[in-house]
Chains A and B, each alone.
Chain A
């Protein structure tokens, strides 16, 4: 009887794994099959020479360039806004916060990390309504509001990864500098942060990936199907994930659909590269600690 159960579990496990891998391969294979033809410089820049587009000499109408540039600006802005706050809060949690406030703050950050991204988007949207009521006509959904909301979305990951990185330092290393007369701040600045820089950087890169792929937040806070290149913080913008969502229901001809598949491949590749980057940084770090 036991033997039977054991064999059953083994068969069940392996077939589950196989099923998952098969489904994943089918999905990715289909994406590659439909989209491979679309991946070239024309996908991004249309018929315009890439250099002209990058230098903003000519406008790109039939390529993904505005969406790519929009996503780039958005993510850069969001991470730029959230990273300093996340790092500071993470340092505070790991090095200064003790007792009850540590528990309460920890709970808040966990709740924040668990919030559905559409709720965060709704919060950003609510902000525009509130602003609209207080100062009529001042600010609608725009790049800045999107970046703020997106920054808020990735904030708990930044805080947690920084906190975890610092807390995982060996206690002996933690005492070394204070024993030499370092103040707490000097210890953090000269020893603790440099020792865990790679882990903290890895956390930031992972958060960047999250910001790049999120669709729900930006569709509520200012992403639109056609806006051209982002020109100001206070205007609506295009973004890759929103473009993919938009194409899935609104495509008008096979060419547009093909571009949609190309965009899906492009976005996946961007996320995969960010993931790989974080992974490599973590690996070099663990090798250095092993020595």
Chain B
């Protein structure tokens, strides 16, 4: 019993710690492969430099800017819509409609990213080309519009969760005082749920930065530093996907590990920030 009985527990522990170690191993592997670019304190150069292989410059600065621009713009489009939808889905709508709306949001989250991108290539891109931006229609604005749609369900789920977790007795108190649904939302639920709202925004931003397919298919992938929303741009994620086919020993190829590490660090920061905020939401006074 004793030796045999311990075996499953040992396996459980192995699985858990093994998975945890793999997470670190991924970072170390990228660090190891990207080392030639990073050694000698070149990391700052790498982030701040332009991309110009002819002149021997392999900086990922344009991609960092591209990623940030697309993600922030997507957030700007998505935040008001997601807020509004979450208000309706959490409080304003009658109960059956609320359930319906939430099911819809879950369905939206289940639609494959590549399908969003595919439809946009043939529907939104021609529209942008002919009516709004001109050029090829592949630009930061186009990508961020679809990306906004992609991150909306993530944010809505967080928002609705936060708004819905306000204690029932408080809600009853407001209802009992004759408050309208909007009043309940504005003066009770929103002040109580703000950590969850912040968490939702951070989560949305994280997803927007991490997405590959939308920017790869819709943003144009130019390596120049973008100056306007209608410029073509390339994100860190798309950069990895595009350069992967290059010669393994080239410096170009090594830059994708720098991009990978930046993404890794950024998403880790997002997770830590999220943990802080959800920790705050747990505390009764928060």
Contacts and interface: CB of A to CB of B under 8 A. Distances in A.
A and B touching (Cβ–Cβ under 8 A): yes
Interface of A: 5-7, 9-10, 12-17, 19-21, 23-24, 26-27, 30-31, 34, 84-86, 88-89, 91-93, 95-97, 104-105, 107-123, 125-127, 129-130, 152, 155-156, 159, 183, 185, 209, 212-213, 215-216, 219-220, 241, 244-245, 247-249, 257, 260-261, 264, 267-268, 271-272, 274-275, 279
Interface stretch (B50-58, B82-90, B166-174, B193-201): B82-90
Nearest to B266: A116
A89 B257 contact: no
A185 B110 contact: no
Contact of A264 (B119, B213, B263): B119
B177 interface: no
Given A84-B15, A108-B19, 13 more contacts: A6-B186, A12-B84, A17-B88, A20-B152, A97-B16, A107-B271, A110-B271, A111-B267, A114-B267, A123-B30, A126-B33, A130-B29, A272-B107
Interface of B: 5, 8-9, 11-20, 22-24, 26, 29-30, 33, 80-85, 87-89, 92, 101, 103-104, 106-108, 110-123, 149, 152, 180, 182-183, 185-186, 206, 209-213, 216-217, 237, 240-241, 244, 248, 256-257, 260, 263-264, 267-268, 270-272, 274-275
Contacts of A118: 210, 212, 237, 240-241, 260, 263
Given A105-B16, A105-B20, A115-B210, A268 B112 contact: yes
23 contacts: A10-B182, A12-B84, A16-B81, A16-B88, A20-B85, A85-B18, A88-B14, A110-B275, A111-B268, A114-B268, A114-B271, A117-B210, A118-B210, A118-B241, A122-B30, A183-B5, A213-B110, A215-B114, A248-B118, A248-B122, A248-B217, A261-B118, A272-B111
B240 A220 contact: yes
